Amino acid sequence: MPDAKGRAAGLDLMRQHALIAGEPVTSETRIAVDDPATGQIIGHVPDLGAADTERAIQAAHDAFPAWSRSDPHKRAAFLRDWARLIDDNAEGLGALMALENGKPFEEARGEVAYANSFIKWFAGEAERLIGETQDSPLGHVILTFREAVGPCAFITPWNFPAAMLTRKLGPALAAGCTAVVKPASQTPFTAIALAELAYQAGLPKGVLSVVTGDAATIGGVLTASPLIRKLSFTGSTPVGRLLAEQCAPTLKRVSMELGGAAPLIVFADADLDLAVAETIRGKFRNSGQTCVCPNRVYVERSVADAYARKLAEAVAQIPVGGAFEPGVKVGPLIEDKAVRKVQDHLALTRAAGGEVLTGGEPHALGGRFFQPTVTLGGDDALFRREETFGPLIPVFAFDSEDEVLDKANDSEFGLASYVFTRDLDRAMHIGRRIEAGMCGVNTGIISTAVAPFGGVKQSGYGREGSIHGIDEYVDIKQVTLALR
Ligand code: SIN
């Protein structure tokens, strides 16, 4: 889509208000949202505070009894109507997301489809909220029901403005929960547009609100409120930890999808061309800004040089540019500080003896663009501790399976991991031993609505997507019947 057409399609769906109980809300002070490619302001959202957040919570509370008791088949029908509207508006939503996030339009359009796959999947799950019957040793019959946990709060990130929202809202609405969403201040427009479409699809007023403003203020009110029964957060580990602490006094249920430092392991018996292609596919989604991106690549020493040089050759060809330029695969980073982090990680790698095989500099486009970069050697310890969240692939050689497994697991994080080998037994050994919630074997892509997504250790807890995703939004109720 050419630039002017893309901008127009995106701006067409942009609403510069928040939504409380389905009604537009503005404020005197506003937050500017920029296009990361140019730094130019594309619009503003209200800077709402505690009072408006409380109003949204009250609306979710008031709407909960009717929505949670509604026929799950009707909720499924609503989700399907919403999904149809999202499909109808996919180009505009993709363009809007590309504008506020900077990801290439084709990728943003792909994210709209990915986001919608959660709504479609959980429409089916609403129809399968199945309970059990059981004979009790006390001579009774026990019935179990899966009941909505209550009003939920969702704090969603800027890297997947649509998919991280629908991965939470899909199961929550299917289960009968109501919700207050706080989208990231860098990318609020996609969330507002999706919520507008939900109301166009017939969502009852009050079931969903989107509040924009200062994250600490709104997060503080959402977590403190006794009316909110569940928080789901996607973002950094330190913020997740803080939110979990804030939820403790009211004993909310909490799901945390936090940081990662994903290892990608390539054994000498792997198909190296496949490993290179899949490393690139996994790493450069959202310009290297995903929590499942390979953060550190370990390659068996006998093929490390060959792999790294093939990788560098391919990475050097990746087209970088603005979201609406044809063929672009990597866009700008979200903020200036994201560029500085890549530079810091590169400087430390160079200082530790790492060699830059391609890239290594800010891109000629300037601003927040950085060259896709591959390094070989240096110290992997930094990359076990911290995710770069940018277009840098550090490659390290290893000598044995035990050594690489130790290195892979020597991290406080445990979200995604990847292994490339033709040996099924080895793949299973690594897949089972690796301390991560997810492991891709001979693939760099592990995310789909039908797979459980989530981490272990400091990468969080709870699972999104799959047949397990709805469990985060239901409580098991038992009714015991004393029958003759
Ligand atoms: C994330 O980076 O938070 C999620 C990425 C995904 O869904 O694959």
Q: Which of 3-17, 102-116, 382-396 has the lowest mean pLDDT?
A: 3-17
**What is residue 484's predicted lDDT score, i.e. its pLDDT?**
86
Q: Strand 373-376 relative to strand 355-358: parallel, antiparallel, unpaired?
A: antiparallel
Q: Parallel, antiparallel, or unpaired for β 41-46 and 30-34?
A: antiparallel
List the beta strands (DSSP E) in 26-105: 30-34, 41-46
Is residue 153 predicted with pLDDT exceeding 80?
A: yes
Residue 439 annotated to the active site: no
Catalytic residue among 107, 125, 257, 435: 257
Residue 143 region, left (φ>0) first, then alpha (ψ -120 to 50), else beta? beta
Q: Among residues 53, 78, 365, which one has the least CA distance to residue 228?
A: 53
- Annotated catalytic residue 291: yes
Place of tokens 């629908």: 166
Query: Is the full-model pTM beyond 0.95?
Result: yes
pLDDT-based confidence at residue 3 (cuts at 50, 70, 90): confident
Q: Ligand 1 pocket check: which of 103, 233, 447 to mutate, most ligand atoms within 8 Å of Cβ?
A: 447
Ligand 1: residues with CB < 6 A are 159-160, 163-164, 234, 290-292, 447
Mean pLDDT (the chain, rounded): 98
Which pLDDT value is given to residue 6?
85
* Residue 57 contacts residue 207 (beta carbons within 8 Å): no
pLDDT of residue 166: 98
**Tell me, what's the pLDDT at 2?**
75
Given the structure tokens 């403190």, which residue do they identify? Answer: 224
The conformation of residue 204, written as its DSSP 8-state character, comes to P
Tens of pLDDT, residues 414-456:
999 999 999 999 999 999 999 999 999 999 999 999 999 999 9
Q: What is the pLDDT of residue 202?
A: 98
pLDDT at 40: 97
Q: Is the pLDDT of residue 214 over 80?
A: yes
Is pLDDT of 37 > 80? yes
One-letter amino acid identity for 11? L
Do residues 409 and 434 lie in contact, with contact meaning Cβ atoms separated by under 8 Å? Answer: yes
At residue 221 the predicted structure's pLDDT band, cuts being 50, 70 and 90, is: very high
The string over 182-206, giving b where at least 16 C-beta atoms fall within 10 Å of a residue's C-beta and e elsewhere, is bbbbbbbbbbbbbbbbbbebebeeb
Average pLDDT of 30-47?
98
pLDDT in tens, 274-314: 999 999 999 999 999 999 999 999 999 999 999 999 999 99
Lookup: tokens for 210 = 């989107």
Report CA-CA distances (Å) from 252 to 153, 171, 183, 190, 201.
Answer: 10, 17, 20, 27, 30
In a 13 Å sphere around the CA of 310, the CA atoms on its Cβ side amount to 16
pLDDT above 70 covers a percentage of the chain that reads 100
Going by CA atoms, what residue is nearest to atom 5 of ligand 1? 290
Mapped onto helix, strand or coil, the DSSP state of residue 383 is helix
Q: Which two tokens stand for residue 156?
A: 């969603």
| Residue 1: pLDDT band with limits 50, 70, 90 | confident
Catalytic site residue from 152, 177, 247, 291 = 291
The model's confidence at residue 130, banded by pLDDT at 50, 70 and 90, is very high
Contact criterion met (CB below 8 Å) for 329 and 344: no
How far is the centre of ligand 1, averaged over its atoms, from the C-alpha of 290 (Å)?
5
Pocket test for ligand 1, best of 292, 389, 438 (most atoms within 8 A of CB): 292
Summarised one tens digit per residue, pLDDT across range 88-125 is 999 999 999 999 999 999 999 999 999 999 999 999 99
How many Å lie between the centroid of ligand 1 and the Cα of residue 307? Answer: 26
How many C-beta atoms surround the C-beta of residue 166 within 10 A? 30
Output the 3-class SS for 311-339: HHHHHHCCCECCCCCCCCCECCCCCHHHH
